[in-house]
Amino acid sequence: MNFLSIFVLVPALMMMGLYVSKTRKQIQFVTATGASILMILSGVITYMYLSERAAGNMAEMLFTADTVWYAPFNIHYSVGIDGISVAMLLLTSIIVFTGVFASWKIDPLPKEFFLWYCLLSIGVYGFFISTDMFTMFMYYEIALIPMYLLIGVWGSGRKEYGAMKLTLMLMGGSALLLVGILGIYYQSGATSMNILEIAKTTIPIQAQYYLFPLTFMGFGVLGAMFPFHTWSPDGHASAPTAVSMLHAGVLMKLGGYGCFRVAIYLMPQAAHEMSWIFLVLTGISVVYGAFSAIVQTDLKYINAYSSVSHCGLVLFAILMLNQTAMTGAILQMLSHGLMTALFFALIGMIYGRTHTRLITEMSGLMKVLPFLGVSYVIAGLASLGLPSLSGFVAEMTIFVGSFQETDTFHRVLTIVACTSIVITAVYILRVVGKILFGVIQDEHHKHLTDATWFERLSVVTLIIAIFALGSAPFWISNMIGESVLPVVTQLAK
């Protein structure tokens, strides 16, 4: 067992702690401590990673470990991280931490809620530290199942429908994925399912032609790629706050990460030849999601469609197949994760007070909820790409990177994707103007109370992270940039 597995171990210990806790106080203690430890751990791992790199360790993955798990099928439990995983671990820790505080007073069944919540985090953490495709897939499934219960039990509105839809569509995606993974394994002729091993082999091009679309689509479903995105609005709308945060903030990133790590890394030839199909689809996602968001009236739907647009940009940039755009894609994953989590947290908090998410039923909330209002504006500004907030750096890296592709097809698509910055501004300002500004219409809204301390903690943590990424992007973009390099070299072969 390698020390990376501690990221999986801590949530597991949290589950045990939760199992024995009786009162809400104890539950809160266990989750808060666990989440804080995870935060610290991801800080430590970042430091370790950077100092190792600074010491000149240029291995593709650091801190690797490999244990045979099930010898007959060559299944290994192998872990290792590069700059991208480190970035994702940081993101996950921040979201898990803030998610805990956002659902501080979750009702009913707090214990069960957090048990499933921890299981979900095990899946996500495990996914990011795995280098073995099978382990990865297993963790992916672990992350998927709790989602169904979390939405189905603690959700709101049409929660059974939303939960079912989300789980079934993602399961459908993972079915494609399983076929893809097995195909890759057998076609590559490698002796294990370790990605690093398989990358050294060459998968026959005929096989790549069907395996690439399978894996890309499989992960693409999770990345809300058009036309497989419809689970996102309905799923998010009915999910409880923390689950929306974790799902949009981290789980959707599994899609982009997987596309990058498995589909493109292992099948570079097919990526070159078939990227145009997916570029068109993701290009559509970017604009289509943004336009759809303009006319929605439910806050969560707006944010879900905005996620479709932003996550579309992630996959779009990955498919540009050059270092800058891919770096931008990973930055966008971080940035989108943070700001969408902030959005969902705030929407949850506003909903908890006004009992409505319809923008037509709210107005003038800035006056009574100044803290939440200002935070919402900041989240909105991050989303529309204000410099000094995270969205700007990510989007600009993507646009500059995509523009390095000289042919007309890529150029046109890039410019089309650029238009999203205007459309985003339209829907963000529409919402801000409707719900926060103006005069309070609803009498009940005049007596709302602003955020409590745990809500503030959650929101402020996210805002600080957004600011940090947006104002000092250099170290993280360098860290990601050099980790993208192996994939770029693989593509150049």
Partner 1 sequence: MQYTLLIVLLPLISFIFLGLMDSKLKPKVAGIIGTSVLGIITALSYTAAFEYFTMHKIAGVYERLIPLHIEWVRFTEFLHIDLGILLDPISIMMLVVITTVSFMVNLYSTSYMHGEKGFQRYFAFLSLFTFSMLGLVIATNIFQMYIFWELVGVSSYLLIGFYYTKPSAVAAAKKAFIVTRFADLGFLVGILFLSFYTKTFDFGILTSGNPNVFASTVGVSFMGLSVMSWAMGLIFIGGAGKSAMFPLQIWLPDAMEGPTPVSALIHAATMVVAGVYLVARLFPVYEVYAPDVLHGIAYIGAFTSLFAAVIACVQTDIKRVLAFSTISQIGFMMVGLGVSGYGAHEGLGYMASMFHLFTHAMFKALLFLGAGSVIHAVHSNEMKDMGGLRKYMPITNYTFLIACLAIAGIYPFSGFFSKDEILAATFEFSPYLGGVMSIIAGLTAFYMFRLYYSIFWGKGHKHAHDHTPHESPLAMSIPLIFLAVVTIFAGFIPFGHFVTSDLANYDIHLDMTVAVMSVSIAIFSIGIATLMYRKESKIPNIMGKTFSHLHKSASNRFYIDEVYIFITKKIIFKNISTPIAWFDKHIIDATMDGFAGVTQWTSVKIKGFQSGQVQQYAYIFLLGTLIIAALVLFV
Judged by CB under 8 A, the residue of 45, 159, 481, 484 near partner 1 is 481
CA distance linking residue 488 with residue 493, whole number of Å? 9
CA quadruple 219, 223, 226, 231: dihedral sign: positive
Q: Which residues contact 71 (CB under 8 A, 6 or more apart)?
A: none
Q: Is 425 in the site for partner 1 (CB under 8 A)?
A: yes
Binding mask 222-261 for partner 1 (x = CB under 8 A): ----xx-xxx--x---------------------------
CA distance linking residue 109 with residue 338, whole number of Å? 27
Q: Is 162 in the site for partner 1 (CB under 8 A)?
A: no
Query: Which of residues 137 and 392 has its CB atom nearest to partner 1 in the complex?
Result: 392
Q: Which residue has the tokens 């739907």?
A: 301
Query: Which of residues 164 and 448 has its CB atom nearest to partner 1 in the complex?
Result: 164
Judged by CB under 8 A, the residue of 15, 45, 169, 463 near partner 1 is 169
Judged by CB under 8 A, the residue of 50, 171, 386, 491 near partner 1 is 386
Q: Is 437 in the site for partner 1 (CB under 8 A)?
A: yes
Amino acid at 161: Y
Judged by CB under 8 A, the residue of 1, 168, 175, 492 near partner 1 is 168
Min. distance of Cβ 292 from partner 1 in angstroms? 5
Min. distance of Cβ 425 from partner 1 in angstroms? 5
CA distance linking residue 13 with residue 286, whole number of Å? 40
CA distance linking residue 486 with residue 198, whole number of Å? 13
Which uninterrupted H or E stretch holds 80? strand 75-81
Min. distance of Cβ 301 from partner 1 in angstroms? 9
CA distance linking residue 249 with residue 121, whole number of Å? 12
Judged by CB under 8 A, the residue of 16, 205, 295, 464 near partner 1 is 295
Of the candidates 99, 101, 145, 94, the one whose C-alpha atom is nearest the C-alpha of residue 120 is: 145
Query: Which of residues 35 and 484 has its CB atom nearest to partner 1 in the complex?
Result: 484
Q: Is 165 in the site for partner 1 (CB under 8 A)?
A: yes
* Contact by Cβ (8 Å): 394, 332: yes
Min. distance of Cβ 383 from partner 1 in angstroms? 13
Q: Which residues contact 463 (CB under 8 A, 6 or more apart)?
A: 342, 375, 378, 379
Q: Is 381 in the site for partner 1 (CB under 8 A)?
A: yes
Min. distance of Cβ 288 from partner 1 in angstroms? 6
Measured in degrees and rounded to the nearest 5, phi and psi for residue 300 equal -70, -35
Rounded to the nearest 10 degrees, what angle do helices 299-318 and 323-354 cross at? 170
- List binders of partner 1 among 388-417 (CB under 8 A): 388, 392-393, 396-397, 399-401, 403-404, 414-415
* Contact by Cβ (8 Å): 424, 382: no
The pair of structure tokens assigned to 358 is 């319809």
Query: Which of residues 210 and 371 has its CB atom nearest to partner 1 in the complex?
Result: 371
CA distance linking residue 166 with residue 148, whole number of Å? 8
Q: Which stretch binds partner 1 (CB under 8 A): 11-19, 130-138, 271-279, 433-441?
A: 433-441
The full length of the chain comes to 493
The pair of structure tokens assigned to 176 is 């494609």
Judged by CB under 8 A, the residue of 20, 54, 474, 493 near partner 1 is 474
Min. distance of Cβ 398 from partner 1 in angstroms? 10
How many angstroms separate the first and last alpha carbons of the chain? 34
Q: Count residues contacting partner 1 (CB under 8 A)?
A: 56
Binding mask 1-40 for partner 1 (x = CB under 8 A): ----------------------------------------
For partner 1, the binding residues (CB under 8 A) are 164-165, 168-169, 226-227, 229-231, 234, 288, 291-292, 294-296, 323-324, 364, 366-367, 381, 384-388, 392-393, 396-397, 399-401, 403-404, 414-415, 418-419, 421-422, 425-426, 429-430, 433, 436-439, 473-474, 477-478, 481
